[in-house]
Structure 1
Amino acid sequence: MDSKERVQLIAKACDDKRADDIVALDMQEVSLVADYFLICHGSNERQVQAIARAIKESMDEADIHVKRMEGFEQARWILVDLDDVVCHIFHKDERNYYNLERLWGDATKVELQIAGNSR
């Protein structure tokens, strides 16, 4: 599975837990950190943790190793590192504050194939 397919799988896991405003950015031309960033948010700490768990379970089922997960206990900004894809799961208040989409404004948005993407 290539990194673009992995982004779609992660987006579906986020959508299954009703993550809001799921955005994928193609970082290949703007950063050496990862090929893609996936950014979403939940409305409370419990939902943010549920989204992170869903990503981990989805990756385990696909036999993809989660390199690292940071911020799970506080659930204000959880970073899930999958090497070529980095997923940022925010609490809605933190997302507005950090505004990664603006920070990485040079990155191209990736169209996601999920039903809830229009939420």
Structure 2
Amino acid sequence: MTATQLALDLTRLAAAAATEKSATNVRAFDVSEQLFITDVFLICSVTSSTQARAVQDAVEDALREHGAKAVRREGSREGRWILLDFTDIVVHVQHVEEREFYSLERLWRDCPEVSVEAAR
């Protein structure tokens, strides 16, 4: 099983929104073979809590315009690692330090990477 077209479309929209707010190192992984709860993990880096919240707002606004609403949010108050669960995709907005420490790319390296180039 692979990620649905809806999940891929939402991933690209979220990546574009994050990039517009200067998020860096935007990468996505098709985790549908490993997890039954979501299809894609989108990961991006930020350098401040203010930027993390701006990326969160931009992603939520962009996906809401296409009928997707976050069913769960975590980390917004601290702004160091914000998790946005849209069911089909999960967006991780991480400070550079948290991203290096937790290394989600390493954990999901066996999963196919989803191209977000069209979103940039």
Are the aligned partners of 1:30 and 1:106 in contact in 2 as well (CA < 8 Å)? no
How large is the Cα RMSD of the aligned pairs? 1.1
Match of 2:80 among 61, 71, 76: 76
Residue number in structure 1 paired with 2:15 = 11
Are the aligned partners of 1:25 and 1:107 in contact in 2 as well (CA < 8 Å)? yes
Mapped to 1, the partners of 2:102 and 2:75 lie a distance apart of 15
What SS class does the counterpart of residue 42 from structure 2 fall into? strand
Greater shift, 63-72 or 87-96, is seen at 63-72
Report the number of matched residues. 115
Match of 1:20 among 24, 27, 49: 24
Residue number in structure 1 paired with 2:105 = 101
Mapped to 2, the partners of 1:63 and 1:32 lie a distance apart of 21
What SS class does the counterpart of residue 12 from structure 1 fall into? helix
Mapped to 1, the partners of 2:63 and 2:102 lie a distance apart of 26
Identity %: 34
Residue number in structure 2 paired with 1:60 = 64
Gaps of 5+ in 1: none
Gaps of 5+ in 2: none
Q: 1:88 deviation in Å?
A: 0.4
2:111 equivalent to 1:110: no
Q: 1:33 deviation in Å?
A: 2.8
